Amino acid sequence: MNSIDQVDISGKRVLMRVDFNVPVDAGGNVTDTTRIKAHLRTIRYCMEKGAKLVLISHMGRPKGQRVDKLTLKPCAAILSGLLGKEVPFVDDCVGEKAQKAVDAMKPGDVILLENLRFHIGDEKNDPDFARQLAGLADVYIDDAFAVAHRKAASNSAITEAVKACAAGFLLKDEIDYFNRAMKDPQRPLAAIIGGAKVSDKIGVLENLVDTVNMLIIGGGMAFTFLRAMGKEIGRSICEPDMLDKAKSIMEKAGSKNVRILLPVDCVVADKAEAGASVNTCSVDSIPADWMGLDIGPATQKIFGDAVREAKTIVWNGPMGMFELEPFSKGTFGLARDVAASGALSIIGGGDTDSAVHKAGVSDKISYISTGGGAFLELLEGKTMPAVDALERCGG
């Protein structure tokens, strides 16, 4: 797979797929600019090389309809401020308006086109729509890892309609860091998996047991594993139809000499909300009418000791309901332990990203992935259709 610094973009029309699928409030204001900022390195590189940079993205799920609240126009204003240069917005991504705007560009210019998914052809990976997009480009660059696990005209079919294509720096970094962690890791390799449900991550857990040395399981999903071990878990979240899967994962881990670490104590409450009555107890003595909402201090120490042994750590999913203060200590404590471990640490998923920022240690994490679903699919051992398309591209 070529990267952007391996193709000639000087003075050329560069069509770049970015991920500007950002949250916008009722007044049309972008409330979190993280995803826009993630692309700045690739954008600035194109400007420095004198490319005519045409940015394309989706926002939300308009299903081929023009939905005013899903316009990308606010993103153009944010990007203009970040670059210190006006980024004109074009209210379509194909057709006469888009073509005229591209034709008027000068080297070093940047423009942003309207939401790709106002056209149904993008999600359908339609070759005709891809050819319309390709008509705006001499070179295609994909920098949108967060959607690399989904086939779309703007990241898959388009690679067959352009002469040259490559990965932007963000996409390349995502793949490179993941490969360092999972394909050729320094060991011990520890995976931390949290979140609410085993069913959401069963493929991930099954794949990781074949790869890691330690599998640390927290969050709501831990209670399904504890129930599978015969423990009474009160009103803690549990998926009865996942009990056999949990048992098989634990058995497989045992046969492969993979350590599975589960909570030994937890913070319990009578309800999952602020103002609840809160206590800490062993996982062997959870009150019948209470529920576990965070790992306890003994578990924090066990998990912390484990990550300090690791040379490589991948983490997806919080250890509890960290959004509420009584249940945040486990996730924040583990974040600080990961940050202090000295290991190569890679974090993926919006909740985990949020947690390490709230814990104040985001700058001490080796890499924070921009893609939740894409990161999970890589952990599951799946290939990325958009990455495969780039690798097949004639460029």
pLDDT of 161 > 90? The answer is: yes
pLDDT of 9 > 60? The answer is: yes
Tokens read off for 78: 């944010």
The reply to whether 35 belongs to the active site is yes
CB 103 within 8 A of CB 351: no
Tens digit of each residue's pLDDT (9 = 90 or more) over 80-118: 999 999 999 999 999 999 999 999 999 999 999 999 999
Is 187-342 the same fold as 4-172+385-392? yes
User: So where are the chain's domains?
Assistant: 4-172+385-392, 187-342
Q: How far is residue 135's CA from residue 127's CA, in Å, rounded to a whole number?
A: 12
Residue 373 — very low, low, confident or very high, per pLDDT cuts 50/70/90?
A: confident
Instruction: Please pick, among 73, 150, 197, 259, the residue that the annotation labels catalytic.
Output: 197
Instruction: Please pick, among 135, 350, 372, 381, the residue that the annotation labels catalytic.
Output: 350
CB 148 within 8 A of CB 384: yes
Instruction: Please pick, among 12, 13, 17, 35, the residue that the annotation labels catalytic.
Output: 35
pLDDT of residue 395: 43
Q: Which of 376, 374, 375, 345 is nearest to 361 (CA)?
A: 345
What is the arithmetic mean of pLDDT over 140-147? 97
Tens digit of each residue's pLDDT (9 = 90 or more) over 321-334: 999 999 999 999 99
Instruction: Please pick, among 64, 203, 304, 373, the residue that the annotation labels catalytic.
Output: 373
Q: How far is residue 16's CA from residue 139's CA, in Å, rounded to a whole number?
A: 8
Sequence-ordered list of residues with C-beta below 8 angstroms from that of 13, at least 6 positions apart, any chain: 51, 52, 54, 102, 105, 136, 137, 138, 139
Q: Does the structural domain 187-342 have CATH classification 3.40.50.1260? A: yes
The CATH number of 4-172+385-392, from 3.40.50.1980, 3.30.565.10, 3.60.10.10, 3.40.50.1260, is 3.40.50.1260
What is the arithmetic mean of pLDDT over 178-193? 94
* Per-chain mean pLDDT for the chain: 95
The reply to whether 271 belongs to the active site is no
pTM, to two decimals:
0.92
Q: Which of 273, 293, 100 is nearest to 196 (CA)?
A: 293
Q: How far is residue 159's CA from residue 333's CA, in Å, rounded to a whole number?
A: 44
Q: What percent of the chain has pLDDT over 90?
A: 95
Q: How far is residue 10's CA from residue 182's CA, in Å, rounded to a whole number?
A: 35
For 111, the 3-state DSSP assignment is: strand
Q: How far is residue 243's CA from residue 199's CA, in Å, rounded to a whole number?
A: 10
Q: Which residues pair with 164 in a beta bridge?
A: 139
The reply to whether 360 belongs to the active site is no
Q: Which of 33, 23, 52, 22 is nearest to 141 (CA)?
A: 52
